[in-house]
C-alpha cells in the first residue's frame, strides 16, 4: 500500500506541476495577446496623434481667456472669424473687411475694421468678450481704455499661429471633437508631404511680396515663409540675407549672390501690386535676369486669396501648392 501511495503522491505532484506550468503558459499567452491588442487599440492610436502645437504657448494663450465662457463674443479678426465658423461658434459681431467672411455670417453685425472697430456698435451688442489678433493688441487696448470689456488675443500671422489659435478656441469653447477632426486632417497632410520629401533635395527659395510702393522679401515670420519652413526648404531671407523684419526691402546685389533656385511672388492688383508690375520691376533691373530662378523659369506668381491671407481652412491647399512646386521638376 505504501508503494502505491508513493506513486499516487508522485502523480499528484506531477499533475500540480503541470497545472502550474500550464497556468504560467496561459499567463504568458494572455500577456502576449494583451500586448498585441494594445498595439491595435484605438486609444493608442489617439495617443500617437500629435498636433504639433507648442504646449507651453497653448496653455499660456488659453489662460488669457476669462474663466467663465461668455455667450456674446465679438471678433475683430478675419482669420479668427473663420475659426469660429469652423467650430460652429456664432459671434454677435464680426469685422468689416475686404477679405472674405464666411457667408453663414452675412447676417451678423459688422463692427468695423480690425484696426479701428466701432466701439459704440460693440457696446450696443452687449459684448462680453472681444477676441482679436495679437498683432493688433496694442492698438485695440488703447481704443478700449476706460471701457469695461474683457479681451483675449491670439496670434494669426503664421501657419503655426493658426494651429495654436484654433486649438485654443476649440478647447476653450468645448468644441474639441470638431477641433481635433480638423487638426488631424492638417497633420495628415503634413505627414503625407514629409513622406514625399524623403530622399529629395529641396530648393532654396526667395519669397517676394508686392505692395503699392515696391516689392519686399519675406522671411519665415510671414505666413508664406512659415509654410516654406514647415516643408523644410531653405528661405534665403533667413539663411543668407539674415533679415530680422518679416518684410524687408529688396537688395538685388545680395540676392544675386544668394541665387535662389525658386522665387515665389505674392502680388495682388487689389493691394497695389500685380503680375504686370513685377514684370516691369524685372525689366527695369537686369540683375533679375542673372538669377538661376529667372534663367530656369522658376519664378512663380502665387494666388493672393490663398497665400495673402492667413486661413486655417486654406492651409491644406497652401501646403499642397508649395509642395507641388518643390517636388515636381517639370513645372
Whether 190 maps to a domain, the answer reads no
**In sequence order, which residues have a C-beta less than 8 Å from that of residue 206 and are 6 or more positions away?**
217, 235, 236, 237, 255, 258, 260, 262, 263, 264, 293
Verify that 160 and 270 share a domain, yes or no: no
Q: What is the pLDDT of residue 200?
A: 87
Show the domain range for 147. Answer: 55-179
Answer yes or no: is 172 within a domain: yes
Residue 9: how many CB atoms within 10 A of its CB? Answer: 10
Verify that 252 and 314 share a domain, yes or no.
yes
| 241/314 same-domain check | yes
Can you give the pLDDT at residue 325? Answer: 94
Single residue among 115, 144, 179 that ends a domain in this structure: 179
CB 264 within 8 A of CB 205: yes
Whether residues 224 and 323 share a domain: the answer is yes
For residues 214 and 278, give the distance between their C-alpha atoms in angstroms, rounded to a whole number: 9
Beta strands in 117-218 (DSSP E): 129-133, 151-154, 204-210, 215-218
| Residue 49: per-residue pLDDT | 58
pLDDT score for 261: 96
The answer as to whether 44 is a domain residue is no
CATH code, domain carrying 267:
3.40.50.1980
Question: Exposed, middle or buried: residue 312 (CB in 10 Å: 0-12, 13-18, 19+)?
Answer: buried
Q: Is 17 part of a structural domain of the chain? A: no
Digit-coded pLDDT (tens) for 174-202: 999 999 999 999 999 999 998 988 888 99
Residue that is written with C-alpha cell 506550468 in the block: 21
Please report whether residue 313 resides in a domain: yes
Do 154 and 245 sit in the same domain of this protein? no
Residue 67 lies in a domain: yes
User: Are 121 and 175 found together in one domain?
Assistant: yes
pLDDT in 10s for each residue of the chain, 331 residues: 333 344 443 343 434 444 444 544 444 554 445 445 444 444 333 444 588 899 999 999 999 999 999 999 999 999 999 999 999 999 999 999 988 899 999 999 999 999 889 999 999 999 999 999 999 999 999 988 888 899 999 999 999 999 999 999 999 999 999 999 999 999 999 999 989 888 889 999 999 998 767 889 999 999 999 999 999 999 999 999 999 999 999 999 999 999 999 999 997 766 667 788 888 889 888 899 999 999 999 999 998 889 988 999 999 999 999 999 998 754 4
> Which of 179, 211, 244 represents a domain boundary (last residue)?
179
Are residues 60 and 173 located together in one domain of the fold? Answer: yes
235 located within any domain: yes
Taking CA atoms, 298 is separated from 63, 94, 204, 313, 326, in Å, by: 45, 40, 11, 27, 10
Same domain, 109 and 213: no
Do 313 and 222 fall within a single domain?
A: yes
Q: Which of 179, 214, 233 is the last residue of a domain?
A: 179
- Output 98-106 pairs: Cβ under 8 A, ≥24 positions apart: 98/270, 99/309, 100/305, 105/81
Specify the number of domains making up the chain: 2
Whether 262 and 149 share a structural domain: no
What pLDDT score was predicted for residue 167?
A: 98
In the sheet that 93-94 helps form, which strands lie side by side, from edge to edge? 109-110, 93-94, 73-75, 129-133, 151-154
pLDDT value, residue 272: 60
- Residue 273 pLDDT: 74
Same domain, 155 and 228: no
Look at residue 3 and tell me if it is in a domain. no
Q: In this structure, are 161 and 218 located in the same domain?
A: no
131, β-bridge pairs? 75, 152
Amino acid at each position: 500500500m505504501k508503494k502505491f501511495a508513493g506513486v499516487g503522491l508522485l502523480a499528484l505532484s506531477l499533475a500540480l506541476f503541470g497545472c502550474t506550468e500550464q497556468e504560467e503558459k496561459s499567463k504568458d499567452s494572455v500577456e502576449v495577446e494583451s500586448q498585441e491588442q494594445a498595439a491595435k487599440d484605438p486609444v493608442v492610436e489617439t495617443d500617437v496623434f500629435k498636433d504639433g502645437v507648442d504646449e507651453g504657448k497653448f496653455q499660456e494663450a488659453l489662460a488669457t481667456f476669462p474663466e467663465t465662457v461668455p455667450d456674446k463674443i465679438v471678433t475683430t479678426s478675419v482669420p479668427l472669424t473663420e475659426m469660429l465658423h469652423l467650430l460652429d461658434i456664432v459671434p454677435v459681431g464680426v469685422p468689416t473687411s475686404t477679405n472674405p467672411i464666411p457667408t453663414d455670417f452675412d447676417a451678423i453685425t459688422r463692427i468695423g475694421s480690425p484696426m479701428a472697430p466701432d466701439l459704440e456698435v460693440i457696446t450696443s451688442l452687449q459684448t462680453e468678450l472681444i477676441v482679436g489678433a495679437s498683432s493688433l493688441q496694442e492698438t485695440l487696448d488703447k481704443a478700449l481704455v476706460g471701457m469695461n470689456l474683457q479681451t483675449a488675443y491670439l496670434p494669426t500671422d503664421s501657419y503655426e499661429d493658426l494651429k495654436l489659435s484654433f486649438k485654443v478656441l476649440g478647447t476653450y469653447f468645448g468644441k474639441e471633437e470638431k477641433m481635433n477632426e480638423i487638426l488631424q486632417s492638417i497633420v495628415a497632410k503634413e505627414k503625407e508631404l514629409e513622406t514625399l520629401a524623403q530622399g529629395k533635395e529641396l530648393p532654396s527659395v526667395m519669397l517676394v511680396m508686392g505692395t503699392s510702393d515696391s516689392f519686399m522679401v519675406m522671411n519665415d515670420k510671414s505666413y508664406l515663409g512659415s509654410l516654406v519652413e514647415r516643408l523644410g526648404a531653405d528661405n534665403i531671407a533667413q539663411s543668407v540675407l539674415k533679415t530680422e523684419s518679416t518684410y524687408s526691402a529688396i537688395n538685388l546685389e545680395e540676392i544675386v549672390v544668394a541665387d535662389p533656385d525658386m522665387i515665389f511672388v505674392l502680388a495682388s492688383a487689389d493691394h497695389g501690386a500685380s503680375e504686370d508690375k513685377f514684370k516691369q520691376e524685372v525689366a527695369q533691373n537686369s540683375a533679375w535676369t542673372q538669377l538661376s530662378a529667372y534663367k530656369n523659369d522658376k519664378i512663380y506668381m502665387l494666388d493672393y486669396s490663398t497665400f495673402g491671407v492667413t486661413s486655417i481652412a486654406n492651409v491644406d491647399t497652401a501646403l499642397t501648392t508649395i509642395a507641388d512646386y518643390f517636388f515636381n521638376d517639370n513645372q
